[in-house]
Amino acid sequence: MAARLRENILTMSLGAVSAVTAAFNSLKLNGSYDGFVRRHMDAMMVPTPPGSQSNAAHRGPIFLPWHRAALWELETLLIQADPSIAGLPYWRWEVEGALNAGRPQNSRFWTADYVGTDGDSAQGNRVLNGPFKDWQATIYDNGSRSYTTRSTAGLVRRLGRDPSGSPNLPDQAQVTDALSYTKYDVSPYQYDTNGFRGRIEGWAGGPRMHNLVHRWVGGDMLSGTSPNDPVFWLHHCNVDRLWWSWQTRSTPLRPYAPISPDGPIGQRSGDQLTGLLGTSWTAAAVQDIRNAATLGYSFH
């Protein structure tokens, strides 16, 4: 397996960006992309352990490993679609406010050359330009517990202006705060316990960090089917970069917590990750997915 390199999308050539977005479109066309949307939503609905406030992918220590595994799976399919792709890019959202005079929606990230613009308020906040303009989202139907396809094209975005979202993106100060926590998570390992994971997911001292980015983008990024918008993956790739930065602040790597057999079942280092694509190349347990170097990728 060739080494993968994950880069800041805004430092990549437009040709390289176009290769990535074309690969996203290939996965959307062959149906594999929507499988990622469904698995993310399904994982939301599996209390882990049963009866707790955490689920198989969120609101607990498992949050970072589960998304690292999902990113790795998607990245693998993107590279299979186009072997010229070095790796999944990341969107460094924490600097966008400072780089754009407090108006992160003015970043060139939100242009047709990258991921498309903000939604058009005159057209239901649909994004009708850029590489994903023809996408029809996968919608969860709570009444029938099933999935449907949105009848019309266009992702929904409301950058910083969704009444159900947030007007603010997290900034470097929030990143610095999260990185200052030396424990990955702390007992009793609830969704809002005050360790690195609780701060970066955004419940502890929140709303902040990961949660706040979803809410700032708004629209499709607000719901459990948030992977409908490919920005989801660039956002989570940045979260994964920050976790790796935190992990590598000591040698050996700063450890995950809880370490089996302590901690809630399903959230411990030796527990099986569930609700993923689950191919033969997907790591099986939390402790297997925690080392980016072993998984064959690095960040630039």
Contacts to another protein by CB under 8 A: 41, 44-45, 53, 55, 58, 124-125, 137, 139-145, 148, 150, 152, 156, 163-164, 191-192, 202, 207, 210-211, 214-215, 219-220, 222-226
Smallest gap from Cβ 139 to another protein, in A, equals 6
Q: Which is nearer to another protein, 40 or 92 (CB)?
A: 40
C-alpha 124: how far from chain center: 25
Instruction: Kindly report the number of other CB atoms within 10 A of residue 280's CB atom.
Output: 4
CB 274 within 8 A of CB 43: yes
Q: Which is nearer to another protein, 6 or 40 (CB)?
A: 40
Instruction: Kindly report the number of other CB atoms within 10 A of residue 282's CB atom.
Output: 16
Distance CA 243, CA 240 (A): 5
Q: Which is nearer to another protein, 211 or 282 (CB)?
A: 211
Smallest gap from Cβ 254 to another protein, in A, equals 25
Smallest gap from Cβ 190 to another protein, in A, equals 8
Q: Which is nearer to another protein, 236 or 290 (CB)?
A: 236
Smallest gap from Cβ 5 to another protein, in A, equals 29
Q: What does residue 3 show for φ and ψ, rounded to 5 degrees?
A: -65, 140
Distance CA 119, CA 117 (A): 6
Smallest gap from Cβ 46 to another protein, in A, equals 10
Q: Which is nearer to another protein, 21 or 225 (CB)?
A: 225
Q: What is the phi-psi region of residue 51: left when phi exceeds 0, alpha when psi lies from -120 to 50, beta otherwise?
A: left
Q: How many CA atoms lie within 13 A of 129 on its CB side?
A: 11
Give the helix/strand (H/E) hosting 34.
Answer: helix 32-44
